Amino acid sequence: MSALQPAPDDTRSITQQILSIVFYTFIAFLCIGLPIAVLPGLVHDQLGFSAVIAGLTIGLQYLSTLLSRPFAGRVADGRGAKQAIIYGLLGILGSGVLTYASALSINVPLLSLLALLAGRVLLGIAQGLIGVATLSWGIGAVGSEHTARVISWNGIASYGAIAIGAPLGVMLVDPLGFATLGLALSVLALLALLVIRNKPSIPVVRGERLPFWSAFGRVAPCGVGLTLASIGYGTLTTFVTLYYLEQGWTGAAWCLSAFGVCFILSRLLFVNAVNRFGGYPVAIACMSTEALGLALLWLAPSPVLALLGAGLTGFGLSLVYPALGVEAIKQVPVSSRGAGLGAYAVFFDLALAIAGPVMGAVALHLGYAWIFCVAALLALAGVGLTLLLARRAQVH
C-alpha cells in the first residue's frame, strides 16, 4: 500500500496521535469562545463603557495574537512545542485570574476594565503560542507528509471549541455571574497543564533558525492566497446579520451555522485530499467553490439560497488553509517550522483584520449585498495567484 494511502490501522494511529496534540488547541479555543458572547454586554451594559470600548475589548485579543506570532514561532523552534504550549496554558491561567479579579472589582468600572483588558492580552498571546506549537508538534510527531491532516484536525478543534464555548459561556454567566468565567478559564488551563505534564515531547530540531521576517517572506506567496480567500470568512461573520436586516429577512444565525457545519464536514470528508491531489490543485478547487458560494450570497433572492451560499462558502474555504499551508511550509527548513507556521498564520489574522473596515466601506457606498461580490472577486484573485504558484512549482 502506498505512502499516500496508509493502512487503516496506521491511519487510525496517526489520527489518534494528532488528536492527542490538538486537544490543547481545543482547550485554548474553548477558553476563547467562552467570553465571546458575554464580554460586549458586560463592558457596555454593566461597566457603562461605549460600544467602541466593548469592541476594543474583543479585538485586543486578536491583535495580541497577531503581534505574538514571531515570539510564538521562536519559542516553538527554540524551546520546543511542548514548552510553548505550557507557556500558553499558563497565559490562559493568568487570563482566568485577571478575569476573576475584574469580576470582583466590577463596582470600580475602570479598574475592572483594565483587569479585563490585561486578561485579553494574555489570552491572545496564549492563542498565538498554542496555535503554532500544536501544529509544529503534530507535524513533528506524525511526519511532514501528514501536514494537511494536522492542520485540518487543528482547525476542526478550534472551530468546534468556539461553537461550544460561546453558548456555554452564556449558560455559565447568566445564572452564576461573571466571576464563573474567570474560574472556568483557570480550571480548564490547570486541567490541561496536568494532562500535558507527563506527555513525552519531541526533540528540538537543530539547524538553521530563520528570522521571523525571513520565514514570512518565504511563505508570503501562499499566505497572500490565504488572505484573499479568508476575507470571505471575515465578511460573512462580520456582516451577515446586517445583510439579512437590509434584505428584510430573519435567521441570520442559521447562515453562520450552515457555514460552520459545512466547513467541519468538508474537513472530515476530504482530510486526505491534499495528500492525494496536492496542495495547489485542492486550493484552486476550494477557492472556486468559495467564490461560487459568495456569489450566491450576493445574488440570493431568498434566505434559503443565502443559506446555500453560506454552506458552499464554508465547504470551499475549509481546505484552503491546510492546502496552501502544506505548500508554504515546504519553503522553510524543518528547524524553522514554528517560524514558518507563525508567519503563515499572520495572513489569516490579516484577513480578519482588514475584512471589517474594507467591506464596511463597500457596504456604505453600495449596500451589504455587494460585499459578497467583492469577496467573491478576491477569492477568484486567489485562484489566479494559486494557478501561477502551481505553474512556477512545476517549472522548478
So where are the chain's domains? 8-197, 212-395
pLDDT tens column, 32-65: 888 877 777 788 778 887 766 776 777 778 788 8
- Per-residue pLDDT, 10: 67
- Measured over the CA atoms of residue 280, residue 342, residue 86 and residue 26, the dihedral's sign is negative
On whether the CB atoms of residues 389 and 221 are closer than 8 A, the answer is: yes
User: Which stretches in the chain have pLDDT values below 50?
Assistant: 1-5
Q: Radius of gyration (Cα) for the chain, nearest Å?
A: 21
Q: How far is it, in rounded angstroms, from Cα 235 to Cα 293?
A: 13
Q: Which of 109, 99, 120, 123 is nearest to 183 (CA)?
A: 99
C-alpha cell at 15: 489520527
Residue type present at position 77 = D
- Per-residue pLDDT, 55: 65
Q: Which of 385, 360, 356 is nearest to 370 (CA)?
A: 360
On whether the CB atoms of residues 65 and 128 are closer than 8 A, the answer is: yes
CATH T-level assignment (fold) for domain 8-197: Growth Hormone; Chain: A; (1.20.1250)
Q: CB neighbours (10 Å) of residue 17?
A: 16
166 CB-near residues (< 8 Å, 6+ apart): 33, 34, 36, 37
Per-residue exposure over 309-345, b if at least 16 CB sit within 10 Å of its own CB, e if not = bbbbbbbbbbbbbbbbbbbbbebbbbbbbbbbbbbbb
pTM: 0.76
- Per-residue pLDDT, 293: 95
Of the candidate CATH numbers 3.40.50.300, 2.40.110.20, 1.20.1250.20, 3.40.1440.60, the domain formed by 212-395 belongs to 1.20.1250.20
Residue type present at position 262 = C
C-alpha cell at 269: 470528508
DSSP strand E in the chain: where?
Answer: none
